[in-house]
Amino acid sequence: MKLDITSIIKDNGGSIQISQTESLKDLESNLGTVTFTSPVDFSGSVTNNNGMLVLKGLARVSYSTVCDRCGEKIEQELSVPIDEDIIERSQAEADESLKDDRFTYSGNVLDLDRILADCLITNLPMAHVCRENCPGLCPLCGAEMKEGGCDCQKDMPTDSRFEALKGFFD
């Protein structure tokens, strides 16, 4: 959504309540193993604070990915608290100290979608597991390991048997 901020742009302290559920174009392509599976839900507000806009609220989206250990498909929900200062573009360009701020606006339109997509992507967890102590896959047969090891490993020769053979060839 491109938010029309005409009503607050000249009104210091003015605020707009936002409640939207929208599919974001920036989240349509896959990010590694992550696929976003729901529209982005955002509720919050944007406030004019001496010409700087303060966006606050909560953004939520669902996504699917795979377990890092066993490859099982998992569904996750991402909930990101938003608290961003958004600076008028020409002001940000003129002031060196504001250069590192991520978001700017110009004119009477705030590109809310871009800000939400950016905040969601940067807050994605680095690691995903289907459950806390997922044992992963057996390195021998590729099947999901059970607690205490995979069945196929029980048929493997044990070290003690190799020890016995070693003596035989001496």
Number of H helices and E strands in the chain, helices first, is 4, 8
Coil vs helix vs strand at 73: strand
State which residue, 36 or 69, has the beta carbon closest to Zn ion.
Answer: 69
Task: Please state the closest distance from residue 126 (CB atom) to Zn ion, in A.
Answer: 16
State which residue, 99 or 146, has the beta carbon closest to Zn ion.
Answer: 146
144, with CB counted inside 10 A (0-12, 13-18, 19+), is middle
Tokens of 152: 């196929």
Nearest-5° Cα angle at 120, 55 to 114:
60
State which residue, 98 or 138, has the beta carbon closest to Zn ion.
Answer: 138
Residues that bind Zn ion (CB under 5 A): 67, 69-70, 72, 130, 134, 138, 140-141, 150, 152
Task: Please state the closest distance from residue 132 (CB atom) to Zn ion, in A.
Answer: 10
State which residue, 82 or 145, has the beta carbon closest to Zn ion.
Answer: 145
Task: Please state the closest distance from residue 151 (CB atom) to Zn ion, in A.
Answer: 6
- CA gyration radius, the chain: 26
Task: Please state the closest distance from residue 73 (CB atom) to Zn ion, in A.
Answer: 10
